[in-house]
């Protein structure tokens, strides 16, 4: 499972081994996209590193979700 976030300058890929963590991050992304004040964000952590994705970055990106590792994205 993975979520790809394409901005004007880079592509960020969030990969998941755990369905529960995937659903948590997906819900946080949805919440950030619906935030009128643009103060929410998503913190994705894998291993020893993490990345903060603020609401405005997410709102100005193309987000693709891929549930199966060998399937094409649901949306792109």
Task: Give the pLDDT confidence of 65-75 residue by residue, as tens digits.
Answer: 998 755 555 55
Percent helix, strand, coil in the chain, to 5, is 25, 35, 40
The torsion angles phi and psi of 29, rounded to 5 degrees, stand at: -65, -45
pLDDT computed for residue 70 by the predictor: 55
pLDDT of residue 68: 73
**Pair 66, 72: CB distance under 8 Å:** yes
- What are the start-end ranges of the H helices in 1-76? 19-33, 55-59
Per-residue pLDDT tens digits for 2-45:
999 999 999 999 999 999 999 999 999 999 999 999 999 999 99
Q: pTM of the prediction? A: 0.83
């Amino acid at each position: 499972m993975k979520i790809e976030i394409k901005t004007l300058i880079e592509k960020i890929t969030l990969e998941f081994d755990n369905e529960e963590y995937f659903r948590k991050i997906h819900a946080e992304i949805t919440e950030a996209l619906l935030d009128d004040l643009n103060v929410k964000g998503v913190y994705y952590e894998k291993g020893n590193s993490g990345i903060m994705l603020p609401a405005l970055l997410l709102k100005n990106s193309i987000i693709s979700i891929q549930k199966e590792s060998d399937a094409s994205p649901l949306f792109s």
